[in-house]
Structure 1
Amino acid sequence: MVARRALLHDAEARLREAGVESPEHDAAILLAHVLDVPRSRLALIEAVDAEPAESFGGLVDRRAAREPLQHLTGVAYFRHVELAVGPGVFVPRPETELLAGWAIDQLTAPTRLELRDGPAVVVDLCTGSGAIAKAIVDEVPGAEVHAVELDEAAHAWAERNLAGTGVDLRLGDFATAFDELAGRVDVVVSNPPYVPLEAWESVAVEAREHDPHLALFSGDDGLDAIRALEARGAVLVAEGGVIGVEHADVQGEAAPAVFAATGRWEEVRDHRDLAGRPRYLTARRARG
């Protein structure tokens, strides 16, 4: 038996030394995972048996090597849904929950979006794990939700996460997807790749070494996918419909400018995350 406090203290020190940003949180999550208890119940456990303590130590070593926490537990939480994640798929970030929340607000607040008759039509481009699509169908159950992912490994994770939700998930290129929906989509939403190739060294080790590069990098200035999203959005979105696109915090002017420059959108705006950093743009398809 090993004292729970000592076990956590040693793990936190190991993770802190390795440069993990949230060592206390990560150590607690890993121990709760090994013991199969909610994190809130850890305080009730005085000692840990040798076998789970050894398993915990192995996971701490892997986290110290900067393997993503979610890969170790196999689970990521996004708004009110749970997602299976692992090697081959981008781990959804908390910042993206704001973009998903914006899309949900458009679908649930009638004064924000004039929906046509029938169910609202939503398209999630670059769906990755299926996080945004799953959150939308969870919180707006009447919506008709479509999603597409190009990477086969990521698509397999999305297939697992979206099974039984009614989401129309496809394997393919977002730049050419959903021709049959042209001009009748109410909301397009996307968390695309947006990291400039030259910014390789600035990307967190967990993302750089474990997230698929297709989900991260997008040309010399990081805007290639956003330019393609503007073009595809102009095809898919109905007049008066809206689009929301996540971007890097240094693209608070450059990303909205991609949309503003074409003349196909109005109400082009940028939005900040909870830390006050530019995080996603929104725009409304111009009428006429």
Structure 2
Amino acid sequence: MTLLAFLGVALLVVLAGSRVAFYGDALAEKRGWGRTWVGLILVAATTSLPELITGSSAAFQGLVDIAVGDVLGSTLFNLFILSLLDAVSGRVPLLGRLHPGHALALGFSLLFLALQGAALWWGGPLLGPVSWYAPAAFFLYLLAARLTFLYEKRRSLGQEERLARLYEHLEAAQVVRGYLLWGGLVVAGASFLPSLAERLAEETGLGAGFVGTAFVGAVTSLPEVVVTLSAARLGAFDLAAGNLLGSNTLLC
């Protein structure tokens, strides 16, 4: 029964994730936000919720090492997914297809990791119940979102016109509704995946070790894998890369 429930929810995430990639790409054109920014902020926020839920749950239970390990493990796995995009990017190398704006997003991701490493190593002063890292990371994330948005606004008009012809048959309101619907299904399905995966690991005898932990961690990354590969198959490589880099920025 648990296996059937797990497979059903996973199938829902796969189907809904492919539509999130489609409507996310359309939303980038209809609103003029750019694929990089939509992937970095909007789509990343949608696909990162499983890791956030799992990590927050572990932190509230006092399992700090597990919470941090979940976040850092997901960050490394996202970089691994980025390498898989080369397999579906065709003859042109992936880096040759990406917009230069990703260098800005990658720079912020590295800065977040550096700050997190400093907080773990040095500790530093506390601001009430939280570390100095929390407000610093919050304001840095807002700065990253703002600078990336402004950079995306400078995209060439030729690309915007090409995208407009791709999605001119869709109304802007229809695109927004579609993204909210399918994005909501991804969030709803992905919220159940960690608990189902943990229960399945226990029932199969995998839960009491590294295999069970790795299995649950891989399952929480399913939405990112699906949305990223779906975006790449649509040719929206900026959206796909932005989703992974945005997830890393948000999780850190």
- Hey, which of these two has a bigger chunk of helix by percent? 2
Relative CO higher for 1 or 2, CA cutoff 8 Å, sep ≥ 6?
A: 2
TM-score when scaled to structure 1?
A: 0.23
Larger Rg: 1
Q: TM-score, normalization: structure 2?
A: 0.25
